Amino acid sequence: MRRHLREREEDRDLTRVICELATASRYIINSIRTGELGVAGTSNLYGESQLKLDVLADRIIRKRMTHTGVIASIASEEDGEIQIIDPDGKYSLAFDPLDGSSLVDVNLAVGTIVGIYKGADVLSPGREMIGALYVLYGPRCTLVYSTGNGTHEFAMNALMEYTLVQENIQIAEQGNIYAPGGTRNQYTPGVEAFVSHLEERGSKLRYSGGFVPDINQVLIKGHGVFLYPHLKNLPRGKLRLLYELNPMAFLVEQAGGAASNGHQRILDLVPEGIEHREPVFIGSKADVAKVEELIRALES
């Protein structure tokens, strides 16, 4: 991966950040595969206090990021507040160290999601990001990143090194898989009409309950749409703008897809705070445009 980044003449400090995140993922995948599934506060057989996997993942990433010496601030889903590391640092991160962590004990895939900003301000619109990546801890461990020049996939080999799988992933204009989050009886008229439209078109439902594997499926299959919409009982939806939506919107747009909150581009939204939640419709451009049209027609 380091060679790939150098060949593309990426900034050396940005290369360090991405490679240190890749290193962090080795420790995280090892913890997932070998660690106890206990909850924080319990102790393992050695009497050590048990860390929840997401707390452990958060600590691993923080340690590696501090080690780079180029980080200004960190906003982690685990911490709920922005931590200043070095006000003069070159980059800042917003990340979810282990998204979907509740799926580990049923052996479903989970992931780490990271958005990378120049300077110290992670509360700027996502379009200001200079990079994003996720690591998917599934049957294979894969890493997908973009620094604004396409979206690229790597896979971890037996030596725990990341080797290139594909460059410049492309998402087709329209798809035939969909991942519908939330509960259907809470869907609003525009969203209900959209899902009915997809089903009538023969789209197949593919939903794991993990944002990273569900987005990865749209990216790597090269078509489809993920939605976690505004719901009657959850008008802002569930997913967090900083830690989940902005990084994935960056990666999907770089692959020729689109990401909307049903009315406007996710990357244009001004964060109201680090816990800001937004509805999301993300994936094939025509599918995202279709749901925006139905929401306009049936909900305005």
List residues near ligand AFP by CB under 6 A. 99-103, 181, 209-211, 228, 238-239
**Minimum distance between the CB of residue 101 and ligand AFP, rounded to whole angstroms?**
5
- Name the packing angle between helices 189-200 and 285-299 (round to 10°): 140
**Minimum distance between the CB of residue 241 and ligand AFP, rounded to whole angstroms?**
12
Q: Is 165 exposed, middle or buried (0-12, 13-18, 19+ CB in 10 A)?
A: middle
DSSP secondary structure string for all residues of 49-115: BPPPHHHHHHHHHHHHHHHHS-EEEEEETTT-SEEES-TT-SEEEEEEEEETGGGGGGT--EEEEEE
**Minimum distance between the CB of residue 148 and ligand AFP, rounded to whole angstroms?**
25
Considering beta carbons, is residue 19 or 220 the nearer one to ligand AFP? 220
Considering beta carbons, is residue 110 or 169 the nearer one to ligand AFP? 110
Considering beta carbons, is residue 150 or 209 the nearer one to ligand AFP? 209
Closest by CA to 117, choosing from 242, 274, 289, 23, is: 242
- H-run or E-run covering 197: helix 189-200
Quote the CA–CA distance of 210 and 207 in Å, as a whole number: 8
Considering beta carbons, is residue 223 or 240 the nearer one to ligand AFP? 240
Retrieve residue 190's tokens. 């525009």
Considering beta carbons, is residue 154 or 228 the nearer one to ligand AFP? 228
Retrieve residue 234's tokens. 């959850």
As beta bridge partners, residue 277 has 240
Considering beta carbons, is residue 83 or 102 the nearer one to ligand AFP? 102
**Minimum distance between the CB of residue 53 and ligand AFP, rounded to whole angstroms?**
11
Write the single-letter amino acid at 81. E
**Minimum distance between the CB of residue 216 and ligand AFP, rounded to whole angstroms?**
12
**Minimum distance between the CB of residue 247 and ligand AFP, rounded to whole angstroms?**
13
Quote the CA–CA distance of 252 and 269 in Å, as a whole number: 16
Question: In which residue are the tokens 């080797």 written?
Answer: 163
**8 A C-beta contact, residue 21 and residue 135:** yes
**Minimum distance between the CB of residue 119 and ligand AFP, rounded to whole angstroms?**
28
Considering beta carbons, is residue 37 or 84 the nearer one to ligand AFP? 37
Nearest residue by C-beta to ligand AFP? 211
**Minimum distance between the CB of residue 69 and ligand AFP, rounded to whole angstroms?**
30
Max CA distance (Å), the chain: 60
Considering beta carbons, is residue 89 or 237 the nearer one to ligand AFP? 237
